[in-house]
Structure 1
Amino acid sequence: MKLFLEDTIVAPATNLSKQAISIIRISGKEAFNIVNKLLKKPLIEKNVQQLRKIYDNNQLIDESLILTFVENNSFTGENVVEINCHGGVLLTNKILQLLIFNGARLANPGEFSQRAYLNGRINLLQAESINNLIEAKNNLSIKLNAIGVVGKNNDKVIIIKEKILDMISRIQTSIDYPDYDDIEGSSSEEILKSLKETFNLIAEILKVSKRATFINQGIKTTIIGEPNVGKSSLLNALLNEDKAIVTNIEGTTRDIVEGEISFDNFSLKISDTAGIRKTNDQVESIGIEKSLNQIKESDLILYVIDKPVINQTIFKKIKSKKYLIVLNKADILSKEEIKKVFLQDKHIICVSAKNKEVNKLIEKIQSLYNNEDLLVADLPILTNINDITNLEIALNLINSSIKNLENGFDFDILSIDLYKSLEIINNLLGIIEMDEEVINNIFKKYCLGK
C-alpha cells in the first residue's frame, strides 16, 4: 500500500564542502510547490531535467540543473526534486535555508530510504544494501551490495514466503475440512518434504550472509603474544605506518591500538594488544586483561612469537578461534629454529615486521577470505545482524515444525510456528508494516540525505 507522509523533507545529498556541484534533494507532496517559490519559471511536473535560475526574493543567487521525478518514478515513491547547484558551502546552505523557510523540513538521517521502504519502493534487504554500498570499504562489498540494491537475488526470499504460505494454506484446509483428505500436497510426507526444502534454502542464505558480514563490517583481527615479540612492529608493517610505539622495553603497549586495512575482497579491523605475561604492574595488568577479552571478540587471531616455542597458556586461549601463528624476526632465526616451529603447528607464517617483510602473511590472510564465489551464489545476502538473527529464528521454527511432524504431532501445532516464520519473512520483504519506533531505529544509522 502506498503511504505518503505529510511532511516534505529536504537534505543535501552530497557532502557540504567546496566542490563543483552540490545536490539538494527534496521529497514529498509539496516538493514542486516549495521549489517553485524560489523560481520565476515554474517546474514542469514530469520526469525531466530542467535548467532554472534560483532567486532569494528577486535577487538571483544561482542557475542550477534541476532533476524532477513524479511519484512512482522516484526513489522515495513521492514527488522528488533534486537541485544540482554550484558547490559552494555558503550557497548550498543558502538554498537549503530558503527551502526550509518555504515549507520543507530538514530530513532525519536515512529518512529518504525510510520513505522508499514505507512507500513500497524498496524492501529492508535493499535498504541495507544501499547503506552498505555507501559505507563500502572494499571492491567486493561494492559488487555484492550493488546486486542487493536492485534486489536481483531477492526472489529466493519470495520463494520461501510462497512455500510457507502454501504450507499454511494446505494445513489450514486440512484442519477446516478434514473430509477432504485428498488435497494435493497436503499429506504429511508432502508437507515434510516442503518443510525440508524451505529449511535448506534458509540455511543457505544464512551461510552466505554470515560470510558476507566480514566483507561489509570488516574482520575483527587481534594481534597477541608475549611482550617484545614485535606485535606493534607487525601492526605498523601491515598498516604501512607508525601507528604503534615500538621500543625494546617490555610492556610498552598497555592499551589497544587499532587500525584498518582494506583489500579487494575484505577489510581487516586490526588491533595491537598488550603483551601477555605475569606482572605486578596494575596498569599493565589492565592492558593484559583487555588483550584476553579481545581474543573472545575476534574473528581472526594473529599470535606473534619470535622464537621456536609456542606458549601453551596463550595457545589454549586461541585454539578454538581462527588463528595464524606469526613467527616474527625470521630474518635472524636459523633454518633449524624455523623448522622446529613448523613441526609444532601448520598455521605458521614467517615474517620480519621490522623489515616490513609481511607479504606472505598478507597472502595467507587473503586466501582465507577469498569470497569471490559469493558473487555467483544467486542468493540474497543479509547484512544486518538483526535480520540474520530473525532469519535464524525462522530457521529454528521450521526445524521445530519438521521435528513435530516427524514425531506425529497434529498439523495445528505446525501452523503456529509457520505463521511466526511467515511474519519474519514478510518483515524482510517489507510486506507487513512494523512498529514506527522499530522502523526509525532501522534507518537512523543511515547518512543524511539518503
Structure 2
Amino acid sequence: MGVIRISGPRALRVLEGISASNREMQPRVAQLSSWLDEAGDLLDQGLSLYFPGPNSYTGEDVVELQGHGGPVLLRALLDRVFQLGCRAAEPGEFTRRAVENGKIDLSQAEAVAACIDAATVRAGKQAQRQLQGAFGQYIDELMHTLTSLVAHVEASLDFPEEEIPALFFDQLASRMQNEVIQPVDNLLATAQLGERLFDGATVAIVGAPNVGKSSLLNMLSGRDRAIVSDIPGTTRDVLEIDFEVHGIPVRLVDTAGLRQSDDVIEQEGVRRAHQAAHQADVTIFMADASRSDTWTPSVHADVSLMNKIDLEHGDIPEHFLSLCAKTGQGLELLRDRLASQLGDINLADEGLLVTRERHRVILLDANNHLKAGLLSLGDEDKLELTAMEWRRAWALLGSILGIGDVEHILDHVFSEFCIGK
C-alpha cells in the first residue's frame, strides 16, 4: 500500500478534484474511491479518508489517499495532486504543523522521531512514554512551580519598603532546592542511559592473540561472524557487529590480538585495536586462564574477563569475571556487568529518561541558572539577580516544550525528521 497525506485548508478540495464520485466525504470514514487524471482517465483506486481540523494530526484539514502502492501509479497520483496546488512536505513538516497548531508540544514531536529511530523494544517504550506527553507534563509542572517562586521574589522587589523575614527566604530556598533543582538533577542523572538507548554504545574486546575474543563476539551476537581458530593472529582488522544488552543497542568490536609483531599488517591491526579501545564507551580486557602471560592488560579496561576457565589454571585475580566461551558459562554475568557499565538501571525504577542531547544541554544550563539564583537569594540587594536567573531558567525549560521564541530550535529539530512526518 502507498499512502499520500495532504494537510492544509484546501485538502478536501484537492480530494474532490481527483475523485470520480461526487459523494460527500464523511469525516474519519474510509471510502472506496476512484482517482482520475486531468483527462478524466482512471489513475488508481483505493481508500480516501478525511480528517477535518482541528481534530487531525496537524490540526488542519487532512486527507489520506491509500492506493495500491506501485511506484508508477503512486508517482502519477502524486503528480496529479501537485497539479492541483499541493507541494512536497519538508522534513518533519506535518509534525511541525502539529506543534505550531498546539496539538503536541516540541518534546512530543521529538518523541515521534524517537519512535521511528528506536532500535530496541525498550527504547521504543521510552519513546512512546514521551510521545504520550509524560516528559512534557513533568517539565510543565517544574515550570509551574518555578513561576510561583519567581512571583514571590518579584513581589518582594515590588515592595522594597516592607521588611522581609529571613524565614521567607529560607522557605523559598527550600522549595527551590526540593521542588525544582533536585528533580532536574534527578532527570540529568538519567541522561547517560537515555541517550545510549537511542544513540547506542560501543564495546571493544581487547587482549592477547587466541584468548577467545572472536568466540565471545560470536556468542554475544548469536552469529558466526568472526573466524575462530587456534592459530594466533587470525583477526587482523577490526570486526564490528550490532546486538543489544538489556535493551541498550551495542556495537561490539572485535580487535586484533595485542602483541609485538614484525608483520606489517598485524602491526596495523594492533594499532587499530588500541584506537578502538580508546574510542569505545566500554572496553573488555580478555585473558586466557591457562596462560598467565595474557593476564596483564596493555590498555585501560572497564571489564576484565578471564576466558577458558574450563582449562587448568592458577589462582585467578579477584577482579576478573570468569567465562567459558565454549559453554556460555558466565555469559549472563558479563551481560549484567556490561549493562551496569553502560549506566543501566532497574526497569522497575526507569521512569522518565532524558533521551536527547538537546534536552540534556538545556537542563544543565537551566540548573546552573537555578543554582546561581539560589546563591543570591539571601541577599536583599541581589534579589533582582535571583529573579533574572530564575526567569532565564524558566525560558530554557520552556524551550524544551517549544514555548517562546524558538523558531531556530524548530528549524534544527525538524531538519532531522524524515519526509512525510
Q: TM-score range by the shorter chain?
A: 0.7 to 0.9
The alpha-carbon distance between structure 1 residues 115 and 35, as it changes in their structure 2 partners (threshold 3 A), is: same
Question: RMSD of aligned C-alpha atoms?
Answer: 2.9
SS at match of 2:205: strand
Name 2:93's counterpart in structure 1: 111
The alpha-carbon distance between structure 1 residues 177 and 112, as it changes in their structure 2 partners (threshold 3 A), is: same
The alpha-carbon distance between structure 1 residues 283 and 136, as it changes in their structure 2 partners (threshold 3 A), is: same
Specify the code of the residue in structure 1 equivalent to 2:68.
H
Query: d(CA) in 1 for partners of 2:267 and 2:374?
Result: 51
TM, length-normalised to structure 2: 0.87
The alpha-carbon distance between structure 1 residues 373 and 158, as it changes in their structure 2 partners (threshold 3 A), is: farther
SS at match of 1:405: coil
Aligned residue among 9, 14, 17 for 1:37: 17
Aligned residue among 372, 375, 388 for 1:403: 375
The answer on whether the counterparts of 1:64 and 1:86 sit within 8 Å (CA) in structure 2 is yes
Query: d(CA) in 2 for partners of 1:433 and 1:189?
Result: 34
Aligned residue among 346, 349, 367 for 2:322: 349
The answer on whether the counterparts of 1:45 and 1:70 sit within 8 Å (CA) in structure 2 is no
SS at match of 1:25: strand
The alpha-carbon distance between structure 1 residues 277 and 416, as it changes in their structure 2 partners (threshold 3 A), is: farther
Query: d(CA) in 1 for partners of 2:37 and 2:137?
Result: 49
Name 2:37's counterpart in structure 1: 56
* Equivalence map 1:65-214=2 (5 Å): 65-181=47-163, 187-197=168-178, 198-214=180-196
Task: Give the superposition deviation at 1:150.
Answer: 0.9
Task: Give the superposition deviation at 1:248.
Answer: 4.8
Residue 267 in structure 1 maps to residue 246 in structure 2: no
Name 2:396's counterpart in structure 1: 424
Deviates more, 1:410-419 or 1:38-47: 38-47
Task: Give the superposition deviation at 1:363.
Answer: 4.8
Specify the code of the residue in structure 1 equivalent to 2:363.
L
Task: Give the superposition deviation at 1:31.
Answer: 1.8
Name 1:236's counterpart in structure 2: 218
Query: d(CA) in 1 for partners of 2:45 and 2:417?
Result: 30
Name 1:329's counterpart in structure 2: 308
Task: Give the superposition deviation at 1:391.
Answer: 0.8
Specify the code of the residue in structure 1 equivalent to 2:298.
I
- State the Cα deviation string for residues 338-366 of structure 1 (Å, max 9, x = none): xx22x331x503122xx3x3363245414
The answer on whether the counterparts of 1:62 and 1:85 sit within 8 Å (CA) in structure 2 is yes
The answer on whether the counterparts of 1:260 and 1:267 sit within 8 Å (CA) in structure 2 is yes
Specify the code of the residue in structure 2 equivalent to 1:441.
H
* Equivalence map 1:315-394=2 (5 Å): 317-318=300-301, 323-331=302-310, 333-334=311-312, 336-337=313-314, 340-341=315-316, 343-345=317-319, 347-352=320-325, 355=326, 357-358=327-328, 360-366=330-336, 369=339, 373-374=346-347, 377-379=350-352, 381-394=353-366
Name 2:8's counterpart in structure 1: 28
The answer on whether the counterparts of 2:201 and 2:250 sit within 8 Å (CA) in structure 1 is yes
The alpha-carbon distance between structure 1 residues 50 and 293, as it changes in their structure 2 partners (threshold 3 A), is: same
Query: d(CA) in 1 for partners of 2:268 and 2:174?
Result: 55
Percent of paired sites with the same residue:
26
The answer on whether the counterparts of 2:111 and 2:130 sit within 8 Å (CA) in structure 1 is yes
Aligned residue among 180, 201, 207 for 1:219: 201
- State the Cα deviation string for residues 192-222 of structure 1 (Å, max 9, x = none): 1122021101011122343222322323211
Q: Which runs of 5+ in 1 are unaligned?
A: 1-20
The answer on whether the counterparts of 1:223 and 1:273 sit within 8 Å (CA) in structure 2 is yes
The alpha-carbon distance between structure 1 residues 111 and 282, as it changes in their structure 2 partners (threshold 3 A), is: farther
Deviates more, 1:191-200 or 1:230-239: 230-239
* Equivalence map 1:275-294=2 (5 Å): 275-279=257-261, 284-294=266-276
SS at match of 2:377: helix
Specify the code of the residue in structure 2 equivalent to 1:259.
I
Deviates more, 1:211-220 or 1:140-149: 211-220
Name 1:440's counterpart in structure 2: 411
Q: Which runs of 5+ in 2 are unaligned?
A: none
